[in-house]
């Protein structure tokens, strides 16, 4: 049930939850939402729901210690220092919990990693920091804090909403128009996941089954592009579905992707990709370390730390560390040397992104370093060492089989194309198209085993 693209979620959990949510008086909706969150997580992760509940209780209790020291018109210096100490204790506990479970997943069994722990831990850390900063304006009660930590649309794979973004100090109402908008976002996200990401996943799976040492260079590049689009539509689709549900319930839409493949530098790409994670690292790691308003050596250190942590956060394999280090090196290089050049020639900057980003996703995708080396040997055969392809014309067959999905994916990466549908989302033609997308997705789900979201692994 933890996958939004499962028939159980679409036709059992979600309809029942929505009926209950809107059937009760407004003042009880938060309670229904909270119970629904815990039920959703308990069905998906029965062994770890107690971890989520325990961390919620502890973080609320520690947050209240911070809040009480900040009450009143005058806050003395000793109170500020004590609030910071309490925050450090709470954050240290959260980080320790995340590190312990990550360690168990690496050294004992990967099933010991609670689903979504990276996402809800980051929410808990931002909650503690925002209390100290005074960015939470009204006293949080336990129900609303628990609701914030456990929201089922976000608890598994984000977006990482801030407490004040959810406006949890006021009761939520949803108009028919807002509910309709949420449904449209949900249908669009489901289509991206099922009709695009899952189809492109078959291409990557085929390459793994064949063996990277057997494919031709053109097919290796096609695979890199296909994987890049698959990851994008998988996660963008999830984010649209999650935000769509939140909009249905009366919350504001949270944008997590903003046409990253239209970016003109790697830095800009990651300001557009998984935006809530990027802004989290910026606000709670990068800026507290000094940000970019510091000497060159310190700037390099700040960016290196952020991207090393980003790589470690994404996965347990050494390839994720390499991925983070490579991106950090590219972004540091842009900051210090050639970034201004791409601003003067935007088209060149965009081509630079479109070539390099798929290569970095290959590092992200292949956890076996030996296989990673073979794949790069296929991408760049002039370095040698990868041997001869079994069928040099294999690109023809795969290009024909996946051309529809690749073309559709590339078109949706163009801001003007998606912007057209966003602008005309009330047009009857667009509404009918989304209905067709939804039922086509349901048909494919009912005729296959389904494919869970990639980011459920993080």
**Dist. CA 203–CA 222, nearest whole Å:** 9
For 76, the token pair is: 């003395």
Domain-wise residue ranges, the chain: 7-173, 178-457
Asked whether 40 and 245 are in contact (CB, 8 A), the reply is no
pLDDT, tens digit (0-9, with 9 covering 90-100), for 237-257: 999 999 999 999 999 999 999
Q: Tally Cβ neighbours within 10 Å of residue 133.
A: 12
Q: Taking residues 39-65, what's their average pLDDT? A: 95
pLDDT of residue 456 exceeding 60? no
Out of 76, 258, 314, 424, which one is annotated catalytic? 314
The three-state secondary structure class of 247 is helix
Where would I find the H helices in 211-338? 217-248, 266-272, 275-281, 296-314, 318-333
Query: Who contacts 247 (Cβ-Cβ below 8 Å, separation ≥6)?
Result: 174, 178, 179, 181, 182, 185, 253
Output helix, strand, coil percentages for the chain, rounded to the nearest 5. Answer: 75, 0, 25
Q: In this predicted structure, what is the pLDDT of residue 20?
A: 97
Q: What is the pLDDT of residue 41?
A: 95
pLDDT at 7: 92
CA-wise closest residue to 245 among 324, 190, 205: 190
Instruction: Look up residue 206 and give its two tokens.
Output: 């085929």
Catalytic residue list contains 314: yes
pLDDT for residue 450? 57
Task: Please say whether the beta carbons of 4 and 242 come within 8 A.
Answer: yes
The encoded tokens of residue 332 equal 């540091």
Band of pLDDT at residue 158, cut at 50, 70 and 90:
confident
Specify the pLDDT at position 451. Answer: 61
Q: How confident is the model at residue 271 (pLDDT cuts 50, 70, 90)?
A: very high
Pairwise CA distance, residues 134 & 384, whole Å: 58
Q: What is residue 90's predicted lDDT score, i.e. its pLDDT?
A: 96
Q: For residues 252-285, b (16+ Cβ closer than 10 Å) or e, as one string?
A: eebebbebbbbbbbbbbbbebbbbbbbbbbebbb
- Look up tokens 């055969």; give the residue: 381
Higher pLDDT among residues 418 and 159, named by residue: 159
Pair 376, 326: CB distance under 8 Å: no
What pLDDT does residue 342 have? 87
Query: Is the alpha carbon torsion for 293, 296, 299, 303 positive or negative?
Result: positive
Closest by CA to 236, choosing from 210, 219, 255, 215, is: 255
- For residue 386, what pLDDT is reported? 60
Closest C-alpha to 189, from 122, 256, 123 = 256
pLDDT of 1 > 70? The answer is no
User: What pLDDT sits at residue 73?
Assistant: 65
Q: What is the pLDDT of residue 107?
A: 87
pLDDT at res. 28: 93
For residue range 66-116, list pLDDT tens digits in order. 999 887 667 788 888 999 999 999 999 999 999 999 999 888 888 899 999
What is the H or E stretch that residue 79 is in? helix 77-107
What pTM, to 2 d.p., does this model score? 0.92
Tokens of 99: 């590190």
Q: Which two tokens stand for residue 123?
A: 């929410």
Check whether 29 has a pLDDT greater than 70.
yes
Q: Using alpha carbons, list the distances in angstroms from residue 107 to 1, 111, 310, 456.
A: 28, 11, 20, 20
How large is the C-alpha radius of gyration of the chain? 23
Tell whether the model's pLDDT for residue 367 goes beyond 80.
Answer: yes
Pairwise CA distance, residues 58 & 61, whole Å: 5
Do the beta carbons of residue 377 and residue 383 sit within 8 Å?
A: yes
């Amino acid at each position: 049930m933890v996958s939004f693209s499962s028939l159980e979620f679409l036709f059992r959990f979600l309809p029942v939850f929505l009926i209950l949510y809107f059937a009760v008086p407004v003042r009880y909706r938060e309670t229904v939402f909270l119970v629904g969150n815990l039920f959703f997580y308990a069905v998906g992760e029965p062994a770890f729901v107690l971890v989520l509940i325990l961390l919620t209780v502890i973080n609320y209790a520690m947050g209240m210690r911070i809040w009480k020291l900040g009450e009143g018109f005058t806050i003395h210096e000793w109170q500020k220092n004590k609030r910071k100490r309490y925050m450090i204790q709470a954050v240290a506990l959260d980080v320790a919990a995340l590190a312990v479970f990550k360690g168990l997943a690496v050294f004992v069994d990967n099933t010991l990693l609670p689903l979504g722990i990276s996402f809800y831990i980051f929410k808990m850390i931002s909650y503690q920091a925002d209390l100290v900063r005074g960015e939470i304006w009204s006293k949080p009660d336990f129900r609303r804090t628990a609701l914030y930590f456990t929201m089922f649309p976000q608890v598994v794979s984000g977006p990482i909403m801030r407490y004040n973004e959810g406006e949890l100090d006021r009761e939520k109402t949803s108009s028919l128009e807002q509910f309709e908008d949420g449904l449209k976002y949900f249908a669009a996200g489901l289509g991206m996941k099922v009709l695009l990401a899952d189809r492109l996943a078959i291409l990557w799976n085929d390459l793994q089954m064949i063996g990277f040492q057997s494919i031709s260079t053109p097919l290796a590049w096609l695979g890199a592009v296909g994987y890049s689009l698959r990851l994008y539509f998988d996660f963008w689709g999830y984010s649209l579905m999650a935000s769509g549900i939140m909009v249905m319930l009366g919350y504001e839409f949270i944008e997590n992707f903003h046409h990253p493949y239209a970016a003109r530098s790697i830095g800009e790409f990651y300001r557009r990709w998984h935006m809530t994670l990027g802004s989290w690292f910026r606000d709670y790691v990068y800026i507290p370390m000094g940000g970019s308003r510091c000497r060159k050596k310190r700037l390099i250190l700040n960016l290196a730390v952020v991207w090393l942590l980003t790589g470690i956060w994404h996965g347990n394999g050494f390839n994720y560390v390499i991925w983070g280090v490579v991106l950090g090196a590219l972004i540091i290089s842009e900051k210090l040397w050639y970034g201004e050049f791409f601003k003067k020639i935007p088209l060149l900057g965009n081509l630079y992104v479109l070539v390099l980003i798929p290569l970095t996703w290959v590092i992200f995708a292949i956890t076996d370093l030996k296989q990673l080396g073979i794949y790069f040997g296929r991408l760049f055969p002039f370095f040698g060492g990868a041997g001869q392809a079994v069928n040099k014309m294999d690109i023809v067959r795969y290009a024909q089989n996946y051309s529809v999905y690749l073309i559709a994916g590339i078109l949706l990466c163009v801001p003007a194309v998606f912007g057209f549908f966003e602008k005309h989302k009330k047009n009857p033609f667009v509404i009918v198209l989304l209905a067709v997308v939804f039922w086509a997705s349901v048909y494919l789900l009912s005729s296959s085993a389904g494919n869970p979201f990639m980011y459920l692994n993080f």
